[in-house]
């Protein structure tokens, strides 16, 4: 199994974190996501249908789109929520929520604040910030019963997906409510966890 990623990609981080906390051994190749798409490694160019990281190659097959990759890993190994159908259904709900909600404002805000080439207009930033505040409050409300992880006692791929970009919240210049911060700290306490910049560094 081989993952292609980059330390600046929260999407790649979701998958790397899943593999790390599930203890699944894999190879890793860093792709320079800021380079011309044509200049990337031949294997990546051939297999990455949308030219994006993360890309996972497993038993010769290519898997793309971070949340779809999470589902592939969890169901293949029966880990992180795929141990039973009911929990897997709840995971899928959160993965679709993430793609359409927090995953559609936080990555963009962070890119806009961190990288000149992705700087958005003030109006767009304002809209995305309002969207983020709304979405993160939903997460906070969900965690208000002091459950350990998003679906209860144990971490699942829903946690991997939802937390991906929240470890970059400082770079996005957004506030993280205390209940969400505490949940991120609990994930950070899991064996295998490391910050995206560390986990997605080459040679780990």
Ligand X SMILES: N[C@@H](CCC(=O)N[C@@H](CS)C(=O)NCC(=O)O)C(=O)O
- Residue 110 per-residue DSSP state: H
Closer CB to ligand X, residue 37 or residue 78? Answer: 37
Closer CB to ligand X, residue 75 or residue 179? Answer: 75
3-state secondary structure of 51: coil
Give the CA distances from residue 58 to residues 1, 2, 62, 80, in Å, rounded to whole numbers and listed in that order.
5, 7, 7, 18
User: How many Å apart are CA 30 and CA 201, to the nearest integer?
Assistant: 8
Residues of this chain that bind ligand X (CB under 6 A)? 9, 11, 33, 37, 51-54, 65-67
Q: Which of 169, 204, 138, 142 is nearest to 3 (CA)?
A: 204
Closer CB to ligand X, residue 61 or residue 191? Answer: 61
Closer CB to ligand X, residue 83 or residue 113? Answer: 113
User: Shortest gap between Cβ of 114 and ligand X (angstroms)?
Assistant: 12
User: Shortest gap between Cβ of 124 and ligand X (angstroms)?
Assistant: 17
User: Shortest gap between Cβ of 1 and ligand X (angstroms)?
Assistant: 17
The tokens of 83 are what? 């141990």
The tokens of 188 are what? 């950070």
User: Shortest gap between Cβ of 166 and ligand X (angstroms)?
Assistant: 14
User: How many Å apart are CA 31 and CA 51, to the nearest integer?
Assistant: 10
User: Shortest gap between Cβ of 107 and ligand X (angstroms)?
Assistant: 7
Q: Which of 141, 33, 144, 58 is nearest to 97 (CA)?
A: 141
Closer CB to ligand X, residue 9 or residue 156? Answer: 9
């Amino acid at each position: 199994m081989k993952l292609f990623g980059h330390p600046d990609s929260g999407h790649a981080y979701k998958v790397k974190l899943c593999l790390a906390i599930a203890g699944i051994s894999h190879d890793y190749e860093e792709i320079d996501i800021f380079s011309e798409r044509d200049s990337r490694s031949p294997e990546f160019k051939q297999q990455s249908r949308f030219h994006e990281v993360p890309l996972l190659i497993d038993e010769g097959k290519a898997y793309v789109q971070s949340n779809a990759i999470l589902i592939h890993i969890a169901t293949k190994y029966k880990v992180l929520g795929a141990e039973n159908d009911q929990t897997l259904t709840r995971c899928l709900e959160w993965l679709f929520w993430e793609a359409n909600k927090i995953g559609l404002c936080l990555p963009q805000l962070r890119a806009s604040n961190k990288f000149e080439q992705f700087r958005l207009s003030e109006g767009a930033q304002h809209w995305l910030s309002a969207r983020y505040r709304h979405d993160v409050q939903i997460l906070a409300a969900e965690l208000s019963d002091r459950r350990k992880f998003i679906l209860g006692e144990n971490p699942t791929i829903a946690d991997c997906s939802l937390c991906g970009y929240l470890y970059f919240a400082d770079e996005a210049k957004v506030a993280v409510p205390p209940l969400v911060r505490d949940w991120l700290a609990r994930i950070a306490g899991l064996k295998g966890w490391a910050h995206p910049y560390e986990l997605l560094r080459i040679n780990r």
